Amino acid sequence: MSHEWWALNDNIKDISDQLTSEGYVLLEADPLNGTVTANPE
């Protein structure tokens, strides 16, 4: 699963959890190594 430009934030993790509870297997790629932003600048 690829995240938005905000990075791998809680919203993306929640969507991943929903999909895995339905039986999907996902890989959450995190090329930003845990860095998350809330500011577009």
DSSP letter (8 states) at residue 38: S
| Whole-number pLDDT of residue 22 | 97
Burial (0-12, 13-18, 19+ Cβ within 10 Å), 7: middle
| Whole-number pLDDT of residue 21 | 97
Structural domain spans, the chain: 1-41
| Whole-number pLDDT of residue 30 | 82
pTM of the model: 0.70
| Whole-number pLDDT of residue 14 | 93
Q: Report pLDDT digits (tens) over 1-40.
A: 777 778 888 888 899 999 999 999 998 888 788 788 878 7
Tokens coding 29: 């790629």
DSSP letter (8 states) at residue 8: S
Residue in the structure block whose two tokens are 């890989």: 27
| Whole-number pLDDT of residue 17 | 94
